[in-house]
Amino acid sequence: MDFKLDQNSSIPFHVQIEGYLRELILRKDYRNGASFLPKEVTLSKRLGVSRNTVRQAVNTLVNDGLVERKKGVGTKVVTKKITTRLDNWISFTKEMENQGIEVVNYSVQISNAEASEEVSQALGISLSKKVWKLEKIRGSKKAKYLYSVSYFHPRVGITGKEDFTIPLYELLEKEHDTIVMTSKEKISAIKAAGDIGSLLDVGPDIPILKRERVVCDPGDRPVEYNVVYYHTSYFTYDIEIKRSL
């Protein structure tokens, strides 16, 4: 422990301890609940103060929403989740930029695949027709947030040579004169079984969010069928609904 109280300072002990804890929770060992903070009794003994003084400092962090305390378990940093709104459709990259998070592309793969029954129905094409399939694993420097799979209608004109690391809908408009206008969506909760769990680095019984959508152009013609699996430890959805009077 590299912190000592300044006995000659006019700053109260609990405020000094609070400052130390605020620095501590920024360290990699504690960020996003990676491990428990030192116990209150341990800090009180090492710093030579009462446990109530330490608790006062911890309570301030709890009230600020920075840490959470579980009785009989310990105190850890609150895992920050990315919140996206269902009534405001923007790209994942822009959503993250708006929240000050740098997007990391862990994997970007484009391939040719036969349309399954699900894909053929969503895009309105014949079963087994060849379509371009785009797979992405994205997140931040800290963790993988999502695994997405996109299938494109042949009308779009995807060649497989595009730079899919840039925002998708900007690419479609710039290179293929395709503008997306509406998104018809369905959301469900599933277990992270099989490949999905391993791709997002989660256990097989951990719940994840599955989002299916058909993205259409101004003429309501399908452009993309997209399925996204979200790591719920880092991602949540928020929606605001107004009552009709």
Q: Which domains does the chain have, with CATH numbers?
A: 13-77 (1.10.10.10), 82-238 (3.40.1410.10)
pTM, rounded to two decimals: 0.62
For CA atoms 22, 28, 34, 36, give the dihedral sign: negative
Helix (H) or strand (E) run with residue 230 in it: strand 222-231
Q: What's the Cα-to-Cα distance from 223 to each of 111, 127, 131, 160, 163, rounded to whole Å?
A: 17, 17, 12, 16, 18
Nearest to 164 by CA among 107, 124, 210: 107
For the CA atoms of 69, 70, 71, 74, what is the dihedral angle to 10 degrees?
-70
Mark 201-223 as b/e (b = at least 16 C-beta within 10 Å): ebeeeeebbbbebbbbbeeeebb
Sign of the torsion formed by the C-alpha atoms of 126, 130, 132 and 133 = positive
Where do we find the tokens 């058909």?
A: 214
> Would you write out the chain's pLDDT as a tens digit for each of its 245 residues?
678 898 999 999 999 998 888 888 878 777 666 678 888 899 998 899 999 999 999 998 888 778 888 877 888 887 655 444 444 555 666 666 666 778 889 999 999 999 999 999 999 999 989 999 999 999 888 888 899 999 999 999 999 999 999 889 999 999 999 998 888 888 888 887 778 888 888 877 778 889 899 999 988 899 999 999 988 777 666 666 666 66
